[in-house]
A = this chain, B = another copy of it.
């Protein structure tokens, strides 16, 4: 049994845990470990939005273009692709890419190929919506949790060594306690969303300013290799409740502190659906996410189901990654996206 907080990130506590260190979790779980040289990571969600199917081929081609830029020298360590339809009926293709340091990401982002494409007037006229939502949490601001030990998804490509069985899980508050920064910091919301550029109501190009300690969760399910029993466990037992919870956050998030919630389905480069999905949630603070997770009926049902089955999972892969980040290390930019997209909804009040 080891702490979710990696040894080199342990520091003298000014804030205590909720449970004593001899707490015994009810089943094993693991976290990703980064090399000690990894200090700050980048998570870049890049999106293409279109109103109807007629734009699908163009949108997929754009997604493939984005992916092609990852082959540049300073490209990300890993990426994956998704599709979802949002609550205004728009289609969204997204690619999320992970970098192990900000400097490399900045080289990529400012390269002629990337910056030139993004800043081009063509983005305003190509008939698609475009967005990028990028955060760069320090490793003290980041936690992961896996019910498996190999082929770590998401930020697991950066935090890619698996831990031993960890102590901090199985109780409310453990998500926070897996974050090294929780040893000394409440990670409370500081500041509010602001419009830095453009007008959300008018469309066009809009840049939204974030704020310290926006929390970002990616919570995933992979049933690619699952046998019939685990497929049914996920598709028939977990998924309906999960969808209800994710729909609630998508449609009522503002009331509970959730800026944006997207339940997305993994796809390949041609847009074919894969047996993998995840949720991407942006929250005004970690404690708002905690309050929702520990009190909403849908999430509690998912949680109790997971408790029942966790120890017996074989091929069904369940995981999450949660981070907070400084406002200075966030970028939320939208081009011709509808006013309910991402951070636009709550910064504009539309």
A10 at the interface (CB under 8 A from B): no
User: Which one of A16-24, A78-86, A140-148 is at the interface?
Assistant: A16-24
Of the residues B23, B172, B186, B291, contact of A294 by C-beta under 8 Å: B172
Distance of A173 Cα from B170 Cα, bound (Å) = 14
Of A18, A20, A22, A173, the most chain B CB neighbours within 10 A belong to A18
Q: List 8 A-B contacts (CB under 8 A).
A: A15-B16, A16-B16, A20-B188, A20-B287, A170-B295, A171-B290, A171-B295, A295-B303
Q: How far is the CA of A170 from the CA of B287 in the complex (A)?
A: 13
A295: which B residues are within 8 A, CB to CB? 26, 170-171, 303-304, 307
Say yes or no: A297 contacts B287, CB within 8 Å: no
* A300 beta carbon closer than 8 Å to chain B: yes
A287 to B172, Cβ gap below 8 A? no
- Assuming the contacts A16-B16, A18-B18, A172-B173, asked whether A297 and B291 have C-beta atoms less than 8 A apart, the reply is no
Q: Is the CB of A304 within 8 A of B294?
A: no
User: How distant is the Cα of A198 from the Cα of B332 in the complex, in angstroms?
Assistant: 72
Measured between beta carbons, the chain B residues less than 8 angstroms from A26 are 291, 295
Contact B18 A173 (CB under 8 A): yes
**Shortest Cβ distance from A204 into chain B, in angstroms?**
37
Bound-state Cα–Cα, A170 to B294, Å: 10
Residues of B within 8 Å of A307, CB to CB, are: 295
- In the complex, A22 Cα to B295 Cα: how many Å? 19
Q: How close is A177's CB to chain B, nearest CB, in angstroms?
A: 9
Interface residues of A in 122-157 (CB under 8 A from B): none
What are the interface flags for A286-323 relative to B under an 8 Å C-beta threshold, 1 for contact and 0 otherwise? Answer: 01001100111100110110010000000000000000
Closest to A295 in B: B307
- Determine which of B22, B188, B304 lies in contact with A297 in the assembled complex, contact meaning CB atoms within 8 Å: B304
Instruction: Known pairs A19-B287, A297-B304; list 10 more (Cβ under 8 Å).
Output: A15-B16, A22-B188, A171-B290, A172-B294, A295-B303, A295-B304, A296-B304, A297-B301, A300-B301, A300-B303
